[in-house]
Amino acid sequence: MKKLLLSCLLLLPTLVLASEGIALQHANNDVYDKASLQNGAKLFTNYCMGCHSLQYSRFQRVAKDLEIPEDIMKANLMFTSEKIGELMTIGMRKKEALSWFGVAPPDLSVIARARGTDWIYSFLLSFYVDESKPTGVNNLIFKDTAMPHVLWELQGYQMPIYEEVTDEEGKKHQVLESLEPINPAGMTDEESKRKQDDYRRTVRDLVNFLDYVGEPAKFQRHYLGIWVLLFLAFLFVFAYALKKEFWRDVH
Ligand code: HEC
């Protein structure tokens, strides 16, 4: 038995290492942060909806949940749709998409549940220059993705930094070590850091919005949960008082 435990313990690090791909960065988003969700919705409709739909969401529901006035929603977040009650679908046809990208951009309604928020966050932070690709970029998290770096204006481009490692047979390999922002001439390190921090916040808001879209009922469920807990707390006071009353005669 001891031996078995010991071998399990020894195996553990190899298992961890085997399952360890590229570490994801934490999105740390908060679906109760309305300002972040509003910004996320604006970013999504401006930068993503050219290619990706949210076929189960309606503009009106999003406006209501995120407390965006309908006229602002219409003016700033709706480009192809006329009516606020419409579903957030897009005009791009599958056949055209296939000929442009080789893959149709998927609907992103449940992407936060399918991939997880950390994955989307890391994906949007990990585009890097790769001249061999038709889009001019590759991605550390989603290798050889057909998606272009659509947020390049906000982040800029990143260079891959490779490191040479020697394997057990003595062969040398280039392994991607990290990504480094390519800064325009004259940009100081501090300005560059600020730009990357701003970009991280932008991506967090986008991921936050996709998290909300994946489960819009989360709001209602949590609010209901709070009421239920308050009710139970209230009931406890009465139950306790009642118990005291009953036991008074017994003691
Ligand atoms: C110019 C078109 C285009 C735009 C704009 C675009 N995407 Fe994409 N996106 C694609 C394509 C094409 C794919 C499929 C990539 C693949 O399978 O290789 C994709 C895939 C994705 C995926 C991965 C889906 C999966 O298969 O798991 C995510 C997440 C994503 N996009 C998010 C976004 C977000 C967020 C935005 C807005 C900031 C955005 N995309 C804007 C074209 C686009």
What are the tens digits of pLDDT across the range 105-151? 999 999 999 999 999 999 999 999 999 999 999 999 999 999 999 99
- Contact present, 86 and 58 (Cβ < 8 Å): yes
Q: What is the pLDDT of residue 73?
A: 94
Whether the predicted pLDDT of 199 surpasses 90? yes
Å from CA of 226 to ligand 1 middle:
36
Average pLDDT (75-104) is: 90
Higher-scoring residue by pLDDT: 5, 75 = 75
Nearest atom of ligand 1 to the alpha carbon of 104: 12
Nearest atom of ligand 1 to the alpha carbon of 49: 5
How does pLDDT run across 202-217, given as a tens digit for each residue? 999 999 999 999 998 8
Q: Structure pTM?
A: 0.83
Q: What is the pLDDT of residue 23?
A: 87
Nearest CA to ligand 1 atom 35: 48
Q: What is the pLDDT of residue 117?
A: 97
Q: What is the pLDDT of residue 1?
A: 61
CA separation for the pair 62, 64 (Å, rounded): 5
Q: What is the mean pLDDT of the chain?
A: 90
Q: Is 163 helix (H, G, I), strand (E, B) or coil?
A: strand
Q: Is 8 annotated as a binding residue?
A: no
Å from CA of 123 to ligand 1 middle:
10
Q: Is 222 annotated as a binding residue?
A: no
Whether the predicted pLDDT of 17 surpasses 50? no
Nearest CA to ligand 1 atom 42: 147
How does pLDDT run across 154-167, given as a tens digit for each residue? 999 999 999 999 98
Structure-token pair, residue 204 = 């967090």
Whether the predicted pLDDT of 14 surpasses 60? no
Nearest atom of ligand 1 to the alpha carbon of 48: 37
How does pLDDT run across 233-251, given as a tens digit for each residue? 999 999 999 999 989 888 6
Nearby residues of 111 by Cβ (< 8 Å), 6 or more positions away: 120, 210, 214
- Contact present, 137 and 190 (Cβ < 8 Å): no
Higher-scoring residue by pLDDT: 57, 226 = 57
Q: What is the pLDDT of residue 221?
A: 79
Q: Which of 52, 95, 152, 207 to mutate to test the pocket of ligand 1 (most atoms within 8 A of CB)?
A: 52
Ligand 1 interacting residues, C-beta cut-off 6 A: 47-48, 50-52, 101, 103, 105-106, 108, 111, 115, 120, 123, 145-148, 150-151, 206
pLDDT band at 220 (very low <50, low <70, confident <90, very high): confident
Q: What is the pLDDT of residue 16?
A: 41
How does pLDDT run across 33-87, given as a tens digit for each residue? 999 999 999 999 999 999 999 999 999 999 999 999 999 999 999 988 779 999 9
Q: Is 149 annotated as a binding residue?
A: no
Q: What is the pLDDT of residue 9?
A: 56
Q: What is the pLDDT of residue 251?
A: 67
- In the chain, which residue ranges form alpha helices assigned H by DSSP? 2-19, 34-43, 59-65, 70-77, 94-101, 111-115, 117-125, 152-155, 189-214, 218-250
